[in-house]
Amino acid sequence: MDRVIEVYKRAASERKTLGFWIYLMTDIVLFATLFATYAVLRDSTFGGPAGKDLFDLPSVLVETFALLTSSFTVGLALLAGTRGKRGQTIFWLLVTAALGVLFLTLELSEFGRFVAAGASWQRSGFLSAFFTLVGTHGAHITVGLIWMLVMIGRLILANKPSDFGRLALLSLFWHFLDIVWIFIFTFVYLFGVMS
């Protein structure tokens, strides 16, 4: 009977993992659509500011550094989780969350600066596409942070073996968001400053 239960649990875990990969594929389609929209509208400034007039590359580099470092720290959390070191796992998840909050704070500060300068999402097609693409990524980061806090709570209160599978999916999600950010940094900010 125990073997049957173990086989069932493994099959359920594999279905969850497959389901999560399918979800990530739909997110790839979403971001691909937003990138395509941005590519079409990036020169549609209608006399308003362009990327080179708005983007503060040093600030965006700090954002990028924070997010890429958080990818490393979530990997350390996953490694600690595989070794059954609950305290280290929680510590690295907290560090990852702090870096994610720093990233979001800088991003929201940038948005606030743009809006204060009269460059809101309503100003032009370029700004609408920019705010939608970068804002959608920021919304995903927010969901990841909430998931991280829930994961930390589960590790503190319950610490069940099934939490490792959830931690692995969280790590996968966070790495996915880092990859998306590398594309945003390159195509939106770097190309925007150079054009």
Residue 183, burial from CB neighbour count under 10 angstroms (0-12, 13-18, 19+): middle
Structure confidence at residue 36 (pLDDT): 97
**Number of domains the chain is built from:** 1
Say which residue the tokens 């990524």 belong to: 137
The stretches of the chain forming alpha helices (DSSP H) are 2-41, 51-54, 57-82, 86-116, 125-157, 162-184, 191-194
Domain span at 101 = 2-194
In degrees, rounded to 5, the angle at the alpha carbon of residue 98 between the alpha carbons of residues 68 and 78 is 65
Structure confidence at residue 72 (pLDDT): 97
Structure confidence at residue 57 (pLDDT): 93
Q: CA quadruple 143, 148, 154, 160: dihedral positive or negative?
A: positive
Structure confidence at residue 18 (pLDDT): 87
Structure confidence at residue 9 (pLDDT): 56
* Rounded Cα gap, residues 174 and 103, in angstroms: 13
CATH number, position 99 = 1.20.120.80
Could you give the 3-state DSSP secondary structure of residue 89?
helix
Give the chain's residues under pLDDT 50.
4, 7
Q: Are 155 and 89 in contact (CB under 8 A)?
A: yes
